[in-house]
């Protein structure tokens, strides 16, 4: 019963984290306007980064070096690189919004798995979450045993899968109902959000340097 209760708390905590507005939310809406199941592919890309990270955390917890996730150097590098990537994605999304809503571009934004990987690696708050809340949950999961840790990892990822899939699915049907012009407005808002997050990431990384 204690393990089930813990997994329930993992689901709730993970869901509240996934629902926070951020680059993944904006991207899932933008890509979902053209591809109904873009969220599934985004989640797969996210998992390609997240599952190895969780394995690495398990190893670091075992040898007592989990503090590496909180180092200033790691946060500065992730913040600057992530900020630049988000700015480029915002510009790309803005350019796409100026075209026909249903124009298919041969860009990173039309490669959901790759985009999921890039958003995960370049998002400093992804690593901040894992170095704080995620680390606490992972530590408790490890206390139940290796199989409990594996179940914890799957449950956490399933929350991301459910959320971004719901976003892209809703966005796709909304684009069909709204038509091209209102959809362009939604895409422009999402591109502005990505741009703002990019500047915010760079600002926070710069504060650590000062």
Distance CA(199)–CA(188), nearest Å, equals 17
Distance CA(152)–CA(90), nearest Å, equals 33
Six-digit token string for 28: 């899932």
Do residues 171 and 29 make contact, with C-beta atoms less than 8 angstroms apart?
Answer: yes
- Across 146-168, b (16+ Cβ under 10 Å) vs e yields eebbebbbebbbebbbbbbbebb
Is the Cα dihedral 131, 133, 136, 140 positive or negative? negative
pTM of the shown model: 0.68
Distance CA(87)–CA(202), nearest Å, equals 10
Number of domains, the chain: 1
CA distances to 142, 173, 204 from 79, in Å: 29, 34, 7
Do residues 60 and 66 make contact, with C-beta atoms less than 8 angstroms apart?
Answer: yes
Do residues 57 and 66 make contact, with C-beta atoms less than 8 angstroms apart?
Answer: yes
Distance CA(15)–CA(26), nearest Å, equals 17
Helices (H) and strands (E) in the chain, counts: 9, 0
Distance CA(173)–CA(193), nearest Å, equals 21
What is the domain range of residue 164?
A: 2-209
The tens-digit pLDDT sequence of the chain (210 residues) is 688 888 888 888 888 667 666 777 778 888 887 788 888 999 999 999 999 999 988 887 777 665 665 567 776 776 787 678 768 767 776 776 665 444 443 344 568 898 889 888 877 778 777 877 787 788 888 888 889 999 999 999 999 999 889 888 888 777 554 455 665 676 677 678 778 877 887 887 788 776
179 phi/psi in degrees, rounded to 5: 95, 175
């Amino acid at each position: 019963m204690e393990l089930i209760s813990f997994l329930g708390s993992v689901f709730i905590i993970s869901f509240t984290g996934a629902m926070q507005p951020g680059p993944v939310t904006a991207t899932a809406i933008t890509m979902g306007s053209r591809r109904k199941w873009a969220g599934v592919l985004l989640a797969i890309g996210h998992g390609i980064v997240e599952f190895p990270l969780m394995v690495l955390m398990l190893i670091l917890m075992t040898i007592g070096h989990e503090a590496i996730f909180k180092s200033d150097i790691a946060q500065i590098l992730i913040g600057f690189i992530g900020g630049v990537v988000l700015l480029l994605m915002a510009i790309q999304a803005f350019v796409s919004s100026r075209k026909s809503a249903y124009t298919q571009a041969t860009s990173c934004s039309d490669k959901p798995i790759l985009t999921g990987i890039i958003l995960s690696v370049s998002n400093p708050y992804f690593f901040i979450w894992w170095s704080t809340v995620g680390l606490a949950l992972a530590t408790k999961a490890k206390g139940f045993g290796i199989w409990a840790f594996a179940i914890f990892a799957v449950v956490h990822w399933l929350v991301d899968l459910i959320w971004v899939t719901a976003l892209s699915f809703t966005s796709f049907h909304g684009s069909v109902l709204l038509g091209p012009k209102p959809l362009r407005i939604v895409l422009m808002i999402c591109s502005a959000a990505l741009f703002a997050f990019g500047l915010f990431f760079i600002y926070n990384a710069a504060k650590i340097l000062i």
